[in-house]
Amino acid sequence: LIKDIKPGLKNLNVIFIVLEIGRVTKTKDGHEVRSCKVADKTGSITLSVWDEIGGPIQPGGIKLRVISGWYASLWKGCLTLYTGRVGELHKIGEFCMVYSEVPNFSEPNSEHIGQNKL
């Protein structure tokens, strides 16, 4: 569950629904990066997806499953879920998931800011 994701966890297996997709940006070396807001019944988190792995991501009623190769880390004090080089993302359904946008586990909080300094 999203509520169980903590900085430093690796090889995560999470099922979520995509709520929002930020604009696609390109890195200096040509990689595409998508930042998305995703949620399950326990809350929401920011997802950062690189290159073709982000292809199946669409906003709205799309239910996706993250399979291995993913990790959680802090970026500017905000908890974020990232794809690794071997991460996988699979569409497993549409319009079939109860979710909650709150709490947003990617919002800065004092616990994460303290961990960022370690």
> Is the pLDDT assigned to residue 56 strictly greater than 70?
no
**Hey, what are 4's tokens?**
């169980």
> CA of 20: how far to CAs of 48, 57, 60, in Å?
12, 10, 7
- How many structural domains does the chain have? 1
8 vs 41: CA distance, rounded Å: 22
**Hey, what are 100's tokens?**
């909650």
In-domain check, residue 10: yes
Specify the CATH number for the domain of residue 58: 2.40.50.140
pLDDT in tens, 15-31: 888 888 888 889 899 98
* Host domain of residue 86: 2-94
Kindly state the average pLDDT of the residues 39-51.
90
76 vs 83: CA distance, rounded Å: 18
Q: What is the pTM of this model?
A: 0.78
Lowest mean pLDDT among 16-25, 32-41, 48-57: 48-57
